[in-house]
Amino acid sequence: MLRANSAAARHGIEPGMRASAALALANDLKVVARDPKLERHALHRLAAWAGQFSSLVHPVAPHTLLLEVGGSLRLFRDLENLLTQVELGLAELGFEAQCAVAPTKLAASWLARAGQDAQITDSARLAGAVGELPLSVLDLAPTQLARLKGMGITQVGDCLRLPRDGLARRLGLTFVQQLDQALGRMPDLRAPFVPPATFDSRLELPGTVENVESLVFALNRLVAELCGELRARTAGVRALMLTLVHPKAAASRIELRLTALTRDPKHLIELFRERLARIELAEPVEALALRAAELPPLGTPTIDLFAPRQASEEFAAALIERLRARLGEKAVRTVHAIPEHRPERAHGYSAPVTAQAVINSGERPFWILPEPVPLKQIGDQPWIGSALDLDGRAERIESGWWDEAEIGRDYFVARNRAGECYWIFRETRLPRRWWLHGIFG
């Protein structure tokens, strides 16, 4: 038993118990197995989230997260405030943490493992604090631990008093090196953690949930995690996919497309709330997954007293998104005039675009064909002279609902054996044919 909730504790179940013993105390006990893969994933998600506090983050399996905070103190005023922010943030995500501060990575993780809220900022006090730690905080093999116990050693400090060469001979050089690193006598270099370029997080709900408010409550965690990571990267999101996982039925998906980049958790939650209130769930929800495929850079807001125009554009974008979230994307649009004599062609609709939104497009060819031409296909393989090799990822273009020329295409840059470079696409709908649309000159 690793953890027991309050109901289990009332039955006398305590951490450290064997599962069989616990089941004997309460036969209807629900035992959830540990999932190391999920734990590793959660630790990496937290590392990405923690990037907002420090640019040097190291996740250490199974449950330690190291942050270099010396460089962030001025930004967060002082250490106390920084730690409060970290703890509050973790609590918001539903995690509990034991925080310790020390001049070296190992010392900090050992202090935290020993359950001490130590804040050691002075290297002179380091050896003393580390010396009082029990051996259990060290990463030791059982044989090493047994050997140390046999030598009558119970505290880290006892090791420090022993001659180095003898200790190295008996317990291995790495053990001595670890002690040196912990005390700052030897550098402890680790590659900094680089978070993945996409956001993908999943939250298992404790039970199944149907009610919108409970879903929004759970979603708050995922959105807080997302916005923490966005702050860390000074990035924003323009599109989000929320997946609601049901026990049996196929998952429901909610796609949120924004008119302007944002990393405002309140705004995102408000939009999701509108969308959730509007869908019919086939079944209760047992898990939520939030995914953002792109995290484009979004500068930190400059606090400008006299920038009403920019502010009003932001307000307009927020208003348009609220309207679209409740009424549907097709219900909100703008009109434009087209220089054209035929009256019915002299006007058109488009999706609302505010000044902040820019259409980010992939690579475009210099020659475009007047109409896409169907490609010769052998099996599923497009063919121009020879089989075409696809470069990179597909650029999906799904657009145009407002002018009845809706398209759904995956564009690729493709090359044949002769080195000719083409712009081709595949329909996203059946029969998923290949078409040629442009030539890179």
Partner 1 sequence: MNLDDLMQRANVWRGGRASPPSGLASGYPALDAALNGGWPQGSLIEILIDRAGIGELRLLLPTLARLTHEERWVTFVAPPYIPYAPALKRGGVNLDHVLLVHPRERTDALWAVEQTLRSGTCGAVLAWLNDADSQSLRRLQLAAEAGNSLGILFRRANAAEHSSPAAVRLKLMPAHDAARRLSIEVIKRRGGWPTGPVALEVNHALARSLFPQPATRGLHARQRAHAPAHRL
Binding site for partner 1 (CB under 8 A): 303, 305-309, 311-312, 315-316, 318-320, 322-323, 326-327, 330-338, 343, 346-349, 352
**Minimum gap (Å) between residue 405 Cβ and partner 1:** 17
Q: Which is nearer to partner 1, 152 or 339 (CB)?
A: 339
Total residues found in the chain within this entry: 441
**Minimum gap (Å) between residue 324 Cβ and partner 1:** 9
Q: Which is nearer to partner 1, 21 or 358 (CB)?
A: 358
Q: Which is nearer to partner 1, 101 or 258 (CB)?
A: 258
Q: Long-range pairs for 326-333 at CB < 8 Å and ≥24 separation? A: 326/274, 326/278, 329/257, 329/401, 330/401, 330/402, 333/402
Q: Which is nearer to partner 1, 65 or 332 (CB)?
A: 332
Q: Which is nearer to partner 1, 331 or 378 (CB)?
A: 331
Rounded Cα gap, residues 280 and 56, in angstroms:
44
Those residues whose C-beta lies under 8 Å from the C-beta of residue 383, and which sit 6 or more positions away, are 375, 376, 377
Buried b (16+ CB within 10 A) or exposed e, 1-33: eeebeeebeeeebeeebeeeebeeeeeebeeee
**Minimum gap (Å) between residue 53 Cβ and partner 1:** 25
Q: How do beta strands 386-387 and 389-399 pair?
A: unpaired
Give me the amino acid identity at 302: T
- What would you measure as the largest C-alpha separation in the chain, in angstroms? 98
**Minimum gap (Å) between residue 340 Cβ and partner 1:** 9
Q: Which is nearer to partner 1, 306 or 366 (CB)?
A: 306
Neighbours of 321 (CB within 10 A): 24
**Minimum gap (Å) between residue 235 Cβ and partner 1:** 23
Neighbours of 406 (CB within 10 A): 10
Q: Which is nearer to partner 1, 246 or 273 (CB)?
A: 273
**Minimum gap (Å) between residue 299 Cβ and partner 1:** 17
Those residues whose C-beta lies under 8 Å from the C-beta of residue 334, and which sit 6 or more positions away, are 349, 350, 351, 352, 353
**Minimum gap (Å) between residue 85 Cβ and partner 1:** 21
Residue located via tokens 């604090």: 129
